Amino acid sequence: MRVNVIGTGFMGKQITSLLSIVGFDILVWEKNDNNLKDELKKQITKIERILKVKSKGSITVVDQLGKLENNFTIETVTEDLQIKKSIFKSLSFKNNLFSNTSSIKLSSLGDNINGFHFMNPVTVKVIELCKVKNFSEEKLNVVIDELKKISYKFFNVTDTPGYIINKILFKDISFFFYLIEVEKINILDLQKIYLSDLKKFDPIKIINLIGVDTCLQILINLNKHDSEYYIPQSLKKSISLKILGNKNKTHFKIL
């Protein structure tokens, strides 16, 4: 079965690679194919090694959205409402559309957008699924079944920003920065507490893994829905210095 992936950022490359590995023929949209094929080969090799599987599918890169066929489609572009909306409006078909977002309410992207949220990295075998409308259960089940064969677990969620997992994860991240920036808690003491048996959770590691810019945008989106999500100045400062974490091989730390 053919699957469209829209976007080749940090998540888009991972999702494209994973879905090709499990056997789908991927049409992936990217405006500028600069070293993309080489990067995808590296990503496939990495995921194959982690999951202990061999790739069964294929990848074709297209440079225009109009070249995408009416296939099962997953959008993976940046967590920006207007950019995502413009992408979906540009498509010639309006069915079988899924977004990888978890921080933007699906109904704000359009009335026919469903959710298919991979974790970062995609080798974390959990996917949040939000069924809305205008999709083929048959095509969706083909994708789900192939991923279940390599032990992925699916959780059905409702259309709220953050779904379940990001609400939990980013509430912790948000409060971590609130304690440092607002209550002036000692960073090293706080990290020890977060890494202790109480939580066993390292917000700094998570931010470097997901990407500083992505984490900031997720927190901004969640804050619009729930003002208790604190927006850290540390992330903004880091981005101004082009420190984005693993995605550009820099290391975020609280400055």
DSSP code of residue 14: H
Instruction: Judge if 213 and 241 occupy the same domain.
Output: yes
State the CATH number of the domain containing residue 26: 3.40.50.720
pLDDT of residue 200: 82
Q: How many domains does the chain have?
A: 2
- The Cα 120–Cα 143 span in angstroms is 19
Beta strand segments in the chain, E:
2-6, 25-29, 58-62, 72-75, 97-99, 113-118, 126-130, 153-156
pLDDT of residue 143: 98
Three-state DSSP class for 191? helix
Instruction: Judge if 52 and 128 occupy the same domain.
Output: yes
Instruction: Judge if 89 and 183 occupy the same domain.
Output: no
pLDDT of residue 77: 96
Three-state DSSP class for 134? coil
pLDDT of residue 32: 77
Give kind and range of the element (H or E) at residue 176: helix 165-181
pTM of the predicted protein model: 0.89
Side chain identity at residue 135, one-letter code = F
Is residue 253 one of the residues assigned to a domain?
A: no
Give kind and range of the element (H or E) at residue 204: helix 203-210
| Residue 208, C-beta contacts closer than 8 angstroms, at least 6 positions apart | 245, 246, 251, 252
Domain of residue 218: give its range.
166-248
Side chain identity at residue 168, one-letter code = I
pLDDT of residue 166: 95
pLDDT of residue 34: 75
Is residue 255 one of the residues assigned to a domain?
A: no
Instruction: Judge if 171 and 104 occupy the same domain.
Output: no
pLDDT of residue 238: 96
| Residue 236, C-beta contacts closer than 8 angstroms, at least 6 positions apart | 216
Six-digit token string for 109: 């992207």
| Residue 111, C-beta contacts closer than 8 angstroms, at least 6 positions apart | 132, 133
Instruction: Judge if 85 and 209 occupy the same domain.
Output: no
Instruction: Judge if 148 and 222 occupy the same domain.
Output: no
pLDDT digits (tens, 9 = 90+) for 155-198: 999 999 999 999 999 999 999 999 999 999 999 999 999 998 77
- The Cα 82–Cα 217 span in angstroms is 13
Residue stretches of the chain with pLDDT short of 70: 33, 255
Choosing from 156, 177, 198, the residue where a domain stops is: 156
